[in-house]
Structure 1
Amino acid sequence: MVALGIDGLVTNFLDHLQVERGMSPHTLSAYRRDLTRYGEFLADRGIVEADRVTPADITAYAVTLGERLAPASVARATVAIRSLHRFGIEEGLTAGDPAVDIKPARQGKRLPKALSLDQVQALLAAPDPTMPEGVRDAALLELLYGTGARISEVLDLDVDDVLSLVGADADPAAGLRLIGKGDKERIVPLGSYARAAIDAWLVRGREHFAIRGSTPALFVNARGGRLSRQSAWARITAYAETAVPGVELSPHTLRHSYATHLLDGGADVRVVQELLGHASVTTTQIYTMVTVDHLRETYLTAHPRAY
């Protein structure tokens, strides 16, 4: 039997993925890229025959990738290599499978992105208070950051949900009722900034849009209908481009910032769990990792033996 080269094994494997498994062009391209890099690495080590590859070679390649690629990319490449060698043994093209005991590296939990306090202040100040859209957007931003609510939870609110919380007769101790995932209800405190922004929207802004429709929604669009999640996020993204340029935002950015800043300020993680509406404290604990830099700074400042 003529020894099969790595390049030949890769070609056979990619043909199998395309013809027999009907893999999409995009996924096939990713496999080809990962396996081409793998073949080049082995060639640099003087290995051109598939049966000469050892587990140590594959581990060395993963280590090399880890020095320049993200953990997710390394894990993907490792999966491609495992699939390649498993194909070789199943098709009788190779004598053994050197990747059988190689496991993709565990990816660490992805830390949520949070804005700094200065960045939040800049974002909250971005809407134009002289325009109805600006008054609405200011209320939306204040409510998102002031309650840590999901954007869908805020956009589902009706005017009746907030009437008792704003204005001269408002009870400052009253909380806002939110309906989260699985129709789970929670009550969250509403700060003075959010109350004032909502009041301004109801008094000076909403009437410019609501007269064109009859929706009970708290936040409405220019046609008088309920503001959609897509439209709301497009507005927030536009403000971010000028207020915090270069910062990547997601629909959860203000929620993440709310949780992180509470923990930085000394809030108990279980209190933050309740405020966010997490079913498990494990979900909330990921935010404690975000505050490590803050804890280190406090230690260096306060401990006599820190330096």
Structure 2
Amino acid sequence: MKFEAARSSYLDQLRIERGLSSNSISAYARDLGKFEEFLGNSRKDFAKLTPQDLTDFEVSLKSRGLALSSSNRTLSAVKGFYKYACLEFDVVNPTLEIVSAKIARKLPKALSVDEVTRLIESAKREGDPISLRDFAILELLYSSGARVSEIVGVNASDISISKTPDGDVTVLKLRGKGSKERLVPLGKFAVSALEDYFTRTRPALASKNSKSEGALFLNSRGKRLSRQSAWQIVLDAAVATGLEGRVSPHVFRHSYATHLLDGGADIRVVQELLGHSSVTTTQIYTLITIDKVRESYSTAHPRAK
């Protein structure tokens, strides 16, 4: 079997059986593309590779100047491919001896409450109905802790009212990685922003396209807003508030988790809200709060230094 056919079969398995998103599939395809290039340059048959060949591939990644995290991700993709090929096509797995290099754990960058507020408020533009959409998107990102890709995938029908002993709560359904669904409550600021967008902006946008498929956020042509466009809204807000360079695609998500934990939220609750399958992933945010405690102690306590 040729590598191209095996790779295509593997990507189909990731898409259909594991339910990975199109973005994740594209990332796997790019990483396996690097491996395919190596096979072509070295004139190797993927079904007959040795552990030494994989070591040579790892060296070739480093020679390309890739970051350690990028090399590790590519090697992980190749490992997954061979694990699949071993089961499906009886190919010998040459990756069993590969160990990913350890990289220093980086804490997520969280903004202060004031900085997040300024980011959100910057989307307001007097007399511009589209600004109500942009404002609602930023409010929703911070109120739900959702990924940008999850927000653009939300449908109008995904917003509902849940009755509780303490009153009605507006709830948002999100579809995360692996098509996993979760429900998150929305704060009053996000609810208010959504109501303004629904009544003053969305009807005009929806009238431009009868095939919007019920998408919550629409572009100027009435179609579902793209992930790139939503991310541009965040970037524009960063420029408007002088926070460019400090804003990542997950800046609202990181800030959401950090501020919840700072406010005393249980880590298991935050895990559910973020949609993490393991609490270990969520625990990285506790390092941020511990760091703040350490900094406050060293600054305030007379015998800390």
TM interval, short-chain normalised:
0.5 to 0.7
1:139 to 136, 141, 148: 136
Which of 31, 41, 62 is 2:63 aligned to?
31
- CA, structure 1 residues 32+278, in 2 after alignment: closer, same or farther (shift >3 Å)? closer
Question: How many Å apart are 1:266 and its aligned residue?
Answer: 1.6
Out of 104, 114, 118, the residue aligned to residue 110 of structure 2 is 114
Name the counterpart of 2:239: 241
Letter in 1 for 2:233: R
- Counterpart for residue 274 of structure 2: 276
After TM superposition, give the deviation of residue 260 of structure 1 in Å.
1.1
Per the TM alignment, residue 129 of structure 1 is displaced from its structure 2 partner at its CA by: 4.3
Higher alpha-carbon deviation: 290-299 or 173-182 = 290-299
Residue 208 (str. 1) matches residue 204 (str. 2): yes
Q: Please list every run of 5 or more consecutive structure 1 residues that lacks an aligned counterpart in the other structure.
A: 1-16, 35-70, 77-102, 166-170
Structure 1 CA distance for aligned equivalents of residues 61 and 181 of structure 2: 46
* Alpha-carbon shift at residue 163 of structure 1 (Å): 5.8
- What residue is the counterpart of 1:255 in the other structure? 253
Aligned counterpart, 2:10: none
Letter in 1 for 2:285: Y
Instruction: From the superposition, tell whether residues 291 and 244 of structure 1 become closer, same or farther in structure 2 (CA, over 3 Å).
Output: farther
CA 1:297 to 1:32, structure 2 compared with 1: closer, same or farther past 3 Å?
closer
Unaligned runs of 5+ in 2: 1-37, 44-58, 73-98
- Rg bigger for which structure? 1
State the TM-score, normalizing by the size of structure 2: 0.63
Identity over aligned pairs, percent: 49
Aligned pair in 2 of structure 1 residues 244, 262: CA closer, same or farther (>3 Å)?
A: farther
CA 1:28–1:125: 2 relative to 1, 3 Å: same
Letter in 2 for 1:31: S
* Distance change >3 Å, CA 298–CA 158, structure 1 → 2: same
User: Secondary structure at the residue paired with 1:173?
Assistant: strand
Does the 8 Å contact 1:153/1:178 carry over to 2? yes
CA RMSD of aligned residues (A): 3.2
Residues 7-59 of structure 1 show CA distances to partners (whole Å, capped at 9, x for unaligned) of xxxxxxxxxx9x9648xxxx97973999xxxxxxxxxxxxxxxxxxxxxxxxx
189, 192, 196: which is aligned to 1:196? 192
Partners of 1:278 and 1:285 lie apart in 2 by 10
TM-score of the aligned structures, taking structure 1 as reference length:
0.62
Q: Contact between 2:161 and 2:168, CA under 8 Å: does it hold in 1?
A: no
Q: Does 2:293 align with 1:286?
A: no
Residues 113, 256 of structure 1: 8 Å contact kept: yes
Give the equivalent residue in structure 2 for 1:265.
263
